[in-house]
Structure 1
């Protein structure tokens, strides 16, 4: 039976165990982190900030800030700036007398700031805590704040990784979407259950006899596996949800060496992390290893471990383990997809060279005095060779990563120049153009050449879908959510409803001579700019294409 830590340590473990980060719920998670720091250390105000360059933005605050929370602040001359610059915790017992590290918010005297450091060592933000009266901070309080900072940094890092994953192509998204929906539904149900459990437990925190029951209830209903290990590498406690992940009951693991539940190739790394923790006392995080499932096979896990003491004062290693098998599978799928992209590019290069030679040979035949029949065959062959060349070029363009050369760009000027360029194309002949562009400049941070490629593709599509005498409308305006909207509309025949979801998929086209890659490339370029593409079509409005791009801050 496991030994129970002291009550402050139990409260710390209880709050850490209750922190359950889920993709897309970063704000509430970071609020719980800030609230946990303020509660355990006894502070008036705590915030979690995200820092980039010389500025910072508040992600979570234990007090309501209103519109001020959405502002971007300069790090220059601030206490936070010192923490980011040094990459180390900063303690200011009285900001009114100690001004060497920057200015504290009005009305606050004492300050504790710790950096948010990713697993790669980068400082991406801070947890800043303030006290209205001067006070001292103990070493344990600083370490406690660092422990919460590690959880916040991991959550932000994971959130950014998730955002990047959303930009991968449709093939991977279609494969992963079903699992993601099921996982979020399950997580939502577990979150609701955990919140209800916490509310019931909070009402009984004043009674000492119920403290252990509260601790166990939170641990045993957490999404992650909570465990305790003795210094001789024996499990002294494993939370019940290990059965859902590995199929083992806690009783089958408790009292056994941890090496019995680690892949042989990963044992040395895991034991090394434990030895490092015992020798330095510094928490170890992000260790990835494989554990056996009772029914066979291996599951990928990641563990964060820290050092505490049991009631007898003996060292006790406490850790949190998360199942990352799905993430590992997704990473392998991404690697496979990248290999496919490279293979496609190689095939395109291999085909283009002989195709160029064939085209040159066919063009040479044009100089011969051929019969009318053979001239038709030659013309058809040249047209097909040109079409194949265009298809290969678009496949190559689609398979390349969307690397952007961003710069400050006047969107209104770019659209005006693009429309002037397209006035003389055959598709624009005998069709009206209506332009409505906002009078004030609209600035975006974007790749000019790639955005121009987007607008040329969409406007030519609008012209080609319109009949003689019909109007193509191009509008540019801003939205309240700090986005620019490019609205392109034609009056041609509506696109069938069943075809709309497939328009941006590779090789799907409604044109007789289309390649099906134009809109797929357009979508990838827009998403690389953190933008959105939408297409609507009906008999009353015609086809409306809208591109949303974030404005320059």
Structure 2
């Protein structure tokens, strides 16, 4: 469309030039030669009107272009037949100069062939006449032709100059825009907080950004050329399937998976994989943007646990309220029967024992049902642990369980509620002893994690917990014990949470279970906080 518009404009220009040429020729023909011949001007009009009509009609611009060229040479041929003068041959060359305005190779070739053919024909057939008829007037025509050619060349030079200027400005603007785009993309690549890796179609890393180095641990020079080493071996099949889809032009957005760091750590990531195309629309590489969501998922898990605790508290409140009143009545009547009739002691003893167990369960319910008053104060970790171990001394002896301690030399002071924290260690040691019915050992290791926290590891040598059960053990009312309530670990977790600590349980079958506690130490900052 733009090309047609350009030809239309040049048709207008050439039509105007031909009209100027026609008027100059007619004036010179009448004034200088002093010849009054109405046929030649009229013939010129017959040639000019059709191309003028086509030019301003603006239809078929290319057809108009060739028609203009043919009309011009037709008029020059008419002049040469009418007056075979040497000066008229010059106008054959003028046709080539005029055709250059179009800047069309085919038009210039057509004009050149017509000009050359006519020049050879008239020069060979009219050679004697052309040489003998050379006059001063012809010299004037040569001068006028030279001036006209100079004007045309100057005009064409101006067109070329404007064209080159426009091309230069456009190229400069394009270069600036490209530079700006490159700067933007480079800035996005370099300063993005998410890890970005560019991978070729063979699955080898081409480049990575600084965030990738920070998150995964590999330096750019180390990982270039490697075959996606950050994908764990058990997830490589799925990764290659996604890779194949993206190579076919698909895009994967917000896919959650696991990646492997250089130090062997596994992190939770959210990845977006997009194809990179060349100028022809072919996929030449892939870009992968990875966002580390390990902390986010841990936070989500804590929120889920908090929701579970809240739900358990609501359920416990309802259950405790419904059971406590009839339980009190039952306990009173059974006490009367127990005191009045000795022959039923075997039954009443069992009944009173079960009622006591129900009371203990309700007590655990109430710990979840309403917030317990907690009194935070500095307490010695050694003293708390020593008192708890003393409670289990007899039971450990009977069940052939040995408790080993590895504690810091200096007494670590915790900022805690003494009784609540004792309850935590009682629940954990009780679970450890029950996990070793044939005997075993419990190792308690404690050390300062940093200036504000202490880390405590409680490891047993029991049978361990299967993975299918391990993921559910902190769920309210979930238990594998016949007489368990499924609330012990829930209560423990709630107490640790209120102490602003952490609890982590890991286990392997036939290897035992390890519980890791992180608790705040007593410091001046913690008191002011």
TM-score (norm 1): 0.37
TM-score (norm 2): 0.39
Report the structure, 1 or 2, having the larger strand content: 1
Higher relative contact order (CA 8 A, sep 6+): 1
When Rg is computed on C-alpha atoms for both structures, the one with the higher figure is: 2
Report the structure, 1 or 2, having the larger helix content: 2
